[in-house]
Amino acid sequence: MSEKVIKIAILGAGTIGGSVLKVLKDNHDIITQRAGTDIQIKNILVLPHEIPKLHEQGLPATSSYDDILNDPEIQIVVELIGGIKPAKDFILQAMNHGKNVVTANKDVVAQFGSELFETADKNKIDFLFEASVGGAIPIIMPLKRSLTPNKITEVLGIVNGTTNYMLTKMKEDGADYDTVLKEAQAKGYAEANPAADVEGKDAARKIAILASIAFNSRVKFEDVSMEGITKITPEDIRYAAQLGYTVKLLAVGKESDLGVDVRVHPVLLPNKHPLASVNGVFNAIFVRGNPIDEAMFYGPGAGYPTASAVISDIVEIARGIDLGNVGRFGCTCYEQKKICPLDETESSYFLRLLVNDDPGVLGQIATVFGKMNVSLKSVMQTNAEFGEGAEIVVITHEVKHKNILQAEVELKKLSCVNKIFSVIRVEE
Ligand code: HSE
């Protein structure tokens, strides 16, 4: 067993912090052997009332961050508090005290990535954040290192477990949004205030991080167009299934001549797409590039397994310290690419309309699509389940977002169109 020791501090002992403490203890020997150094917890920053609990477990604890900043033995600070305040300041302070930093915090990386990397670089320390996207799934290091030779054109992710659980249940049970939300909350998969998950913000932060690395150009949270799952109905999911698709909340990062296209929204994915079979709270990230072609990274996106990603970063830095070689993993955003405007992005679309069941109605609808340069791939008509008339489900060929918005406006003007239930992108 190694006689070398690296001392670390952990900020926060919540779900991820507690899991990291447990895994560092349970897997101590294997981690020490693989790291080549014994990783010891020198201090843990918690609220004053949490200190006795940690002391009972034989663990060190403090509620004063200065105890950690001013401890020269601590070489790695592991930030597991989450959110912007005070986490961002804690990270910057640690860096400015010459300490390497590991974080699981997607909020700070997605919003303040440039500032954090500049500070890390200035202080010649490492800043690693594997757990910020996809929980336990290795994706940041693979993108930064293992996939280095690739020209990456596309990163698609199911990176929010809460919404993936909800959509999976809606498909399996035919249940509606409100019912599955309540169930997800009862199981602890959705928070009492589920806004960040169901409105797509959590996934937007994660795709901002992934796209920045994949395309070597800083993408911030504000750059990501967002649409959540709140309007998805069991009927959309059922029609999609009849047509061979599964509805998913997809985080999309693509590069084209128009720039970097980053967005989060529900999509119909063909059932044969590898991401279509990612169910429940699992996450997956699909990468397309040259020469790798296609690769998919799959696993648990939150909770106890996330300790795996956090500790892998700690070990990576410990190896660097041991070799006298930290500051190896700098910022990879060496280009400044423009963000593709949402209106110019291209997709196929699924539209579901309630129309009068009269002669000539299909013709009027087809004329509007034609005028707006929207070419149709398939059209399905059924008797309306709700109200009088017929339901029409249309799948378009690839069109610009602005054309589909214009078509929607024009369709609403037709007296034969009673309602547009849904307009959802299709990822072919
Ligand atoms: N709320 C997130 C999810 C987990 O549902 O996947 C933390 O990022």
Question: What single DSSP character describes residue 339?
Answer: B
Distance CA(174)–CA(132), nearest Å, equals 32
Contact, 165 vs 172, CB < 8 A?
A: no
* Region for 138 from its dihedrals, namely left if φ exceeds 0, alpha if ψ lies in -120 to 50, beta otherwise: beta
Distance CA(321)–CA(319), nearest Å, equals 5
H/E stretch holding 65 reads helix 65-69
Whether residue 160 has its Cβ less than 6 Å from ligand 1: yes
Q: Which of 350, 346, 348, 342 is nearest to 424 (CA)?
A: 350
**Is the pLDDT score of 368 beyond 70?**
yes
- Give the angle subtended at the CA of 239 by the CAs of 235 and 243, to the nearest 5°: 165
* 193 CA distance to ligand 1 middle (Å): 13
* 190 CA distance to ligand 1 middle (Å): 8
**Is the pLDDT score of 97 beyond 70?**
yes
Q: Whose CA is nearest to atom 2 of ligand 1?
A: 160
Q: Whose CA is nearest to atom 7 of ligand 1?
A: 302
Count the Cβ atoms, other than its own, within 10 Å of residue 173.
Answer: 12
Listed in sequence order, the residues at least 6 apart from 334 whose beta carbon sits closer than 8 Å to its beta carbon are 216
Given the structure tokens 């990230």, which residue do they identify? 285
Whether residue 261 has its Cβ less than 6 Å from ligand 1: no
What pLDDT is attached to residue 101? 98
Share of the chain above pLDDT 90, in %: 95
**Is the pLDDT score of 384 beyond 80?**
no
Question: Which amino acid, residue 22?
Answer: K
**Is the pLDDT score of 387 beyond 80?**
no
Q: Whose CA is nearest to atom 4 of ligand 1?
A: 302
What pLDDT is attached to residue 329? 84
Indicate the pairing of strand 5-11 with strand 38-45: parallel
Count the Cβ atoms, other than its own, within 10 Å of residue 379.
Answer: 15
Region 372-395: what's the mean pLDDT?
A: 87
* 161 CA distance to ligand 1 middle (Å): 6
What pLDDT is attached to residue 202? 97
What pLDDT is attached to residue 386? 63
Question: What single DSSP character describes residue 325?
Answer: -
Question: Which amino acid, residue 93?
Answer: Q
Contact, 265 vs 404, CB < 8 A?
A: no
Task: Compare 385 and 210 and report the one with higher pLDDT.
Answer: 210
Q: At what angle do helices 28-35 and 306-322 cross, to 10 degrees?
A: 40
**H-helix segments, 261-343:** 306-322
Output the CA–CA distances (angstroms, integers) from residue 58 to 17, 49, 52, 97, 230, in the order listed.
16, 16, 10, 27, 46
Confidence of residue 327 (pLDDT cuts 50, 70, 90): confident
What pLDDT is attached to residue 428? 84
Measured from the Cα of 159, ligand 1's closest atom is 6
- pLDDT tens digits, residue range 140-166? 999 999 999 999 999 999 999 999 999
Bond prior to 142 in cis (omega within 30° of 0): no
Confidence of residue 5 (pLDDT cuts 50, 70, 90): very high
Count the Cβ atoms, other than its own, within 10 Å of residue 154.
Answer: 16
What pLDDT is attached to residue 2? 63
- pLDDT tens digits, residue range 169-205? 999 999 999 999 999 999 999 999 999 999 999 999 9
Distance CA(74)–CA(197), nearest Å, equals 35
